Amino acid sequence: MPAISQRAQSLGTENAFVVLAEVTALARQGKDIISFCIGQPDFPAPLHVQEAGIRAIREGKHGYTPSAGIDALREAAAKYMAGMRGGLPIRPEDVVIGAGAKPFIAYAILSTTDHGAGDEVIYPNPGFPIYESQIIACGAKPVPVQLRENRDFAFDPAELEKLITPQTKLLILNYPHNPTGGLLSKKELQTIGEILQKHPQVWIYADEIYSRLCYSGEFFSIAQVPGMYERTIISDGASKTWAMTGWRIGFTSNPVLAPTLTRWITNTDSCASQISQWAALEAINGPQDAAEMMKKSFLDRGKLIVRLLNETPGVTCRTPGGAFYAWPNVTEACRMIGAADSEEFRKRLLHEAGVAVLADIHFGARVPGEGQHVRFSYAASNEMIEKGVARMADFIRKNIRKVA
Ligand code: PMP
């Protein structure tokens, strides 16, 4: 047999999809499962956005577009991204439209590091698993910066500073953050900016896909910190804000790298779906009621799940500052029921109580000294949240080991 490349064998995955397959298999056997696994809004795309997609089909907008996207969408995305970020000078030609925000993770790493050259990429741990997977597959060295529960899952900028070397080429940031719901505050971002001023060789990939789902005041981007704009690849998109995950539209901007990112798209997807691009244009320019309704609903559900989790034996949960994820600490719950770790806890919770969550190890190596965590995606109805957390509380109570 011909061999599969080392590079392909080094690829990681999103274990959310692996657990999802497990959940689907159990559901197929007739098991009643409440799932908090999947990181996407549980709403359909707004009706006027759906209509725009249908209109594009009917109007014959079926062909390729320029790799960077249709002009109207680049213009709208530039204005939208700038408006969300204190009026940054983002021009339409700085914006590249992709088939989701996800492909830009690889394109950014490929555009800022060389394979096997010892280039280092710093990324948050726990974090979106594709960062580490792509850093390794692209032949760069992954350098995790650890998130700290006592900082509401931000990292300590002093810890970041210690990790930067002359080989550091890219720093990946993600706020609001998947999987913890944590944020980096304006003050923390300013401190990070001051540190990066001393290291001009470092690019920043600002994964701001959850920018509209920020609950504590106005969203603030690292690109707004003096000196950071030119070095920052800002990544945002339609998936989370307008419940369009399956439409696959992301927008990414950088005044220097836009042509390079465009060239990657020419070499891979050619362009994002034209139909989806017209729909995304409507999402940005049309009424925002649906987006605002969804945001409010995530905020309310977040409050509900955090309250319920904090009432659950052996569980404590910080209040997320954004996105739709809760990252409860289950160290004590694991001890109470005799589970070796969060992964054993997750499996038993799924098989014995019918509640599907992800474990911390699905988002990177467990942070030493930070205990055991699981991730709830609370893009689920209030009823499911109440029922799911009640099942988890019953499961823990029923399984408490009696200490002699
Ligand atoms: N970044 C983060 C942190 C995410 O959570 C996700 C989606 N789960 C993405 C990027 C990718 O989003 P898209 O659907 O736009 O590819």
> How many Å separate Cα 83 from the centre of its chain?
21
Q: Are residues 264 and 384 in the same domain?
A: no
Q: Say if ligand 1 is within 6 A of residue 181 CB.
A: no
Find the largest Cα–Cα distance for the chain.
74
Beta bridge mates, 172? 205
Q: Are residues 269 and 295 in the same domain?
A: no
Q: Are residues 249 and 328 in the same domain?
A: no
> What is the distance in A from the centroid of ligand 1 to the CA of 181?
13
Tell me whether the omega of the peptide bond preceding residue 144 falls within 30 degrees of 0, making it cis. Answer: no
Tell me whether the omega of the peptide bond preceding residue 179 falls within 30 degrees of 0, making it cis. Answer: yes
Burial class (CB in 10 A: 0-12, 13-18, 19+), 313: middle
Query: At residue 331, does pLDDT exceed 80?
Result: yes
> What is the distance in A from the centroid of ligand 1 to the CA of 396?
32
User: Residue 403: which pLDDT band, with cuts at 50, 70 and 90?
Assistant: low
Q: Are residues 153 and 213 in the same domain?
A: yes
For residue 223, what are the domain limits? Answer: 63-285
State the number of CA atoms in the 13 A half-sphere of 187 facing the CB: 3
N-to-C CA span, the chain: 58
206-235 residue pLDDT tens: 999 999 999 988 999 999 999 999 999 999
Q: Say if ligand 1 is within 6 A of residue 209 CB.
A: yes
Q: Are residues 103 and 34 in the same domain?
A: no
Q: Say if ligand 1 is within 6 A of residue 50 CB.
A: no
Give me the helices (H) in 13-122, please: 15-28, 47-58, 71-84, 103-112
Question: What's the rounded Cα separation, in Å, for the pair 360 and 343?
Answer: 8
Q: Show the tokens assigned to 25.
A: 């298999």
324, 379 Cβ separation under 8 angstroms:
yes
Q: What is the pTM of this model?
A: 0.96
Q: Show the tokens assigned to 171.
A: 């720093």
- For position 38, what pLDDT does the model report? 86
> How many Å separate Cα 214 from the centre of its chain?
13
Q: Are residues 98 and 201 in the same domain?
A: yes
Q: Which of 242, 261, 285 is the last residue of a domain?
A: 285
115-147 residue pLDDT tens: 999 999 999 999 999 999 999 999 999 999 999
Mean pLDDT of the chain, nearest integer: 96
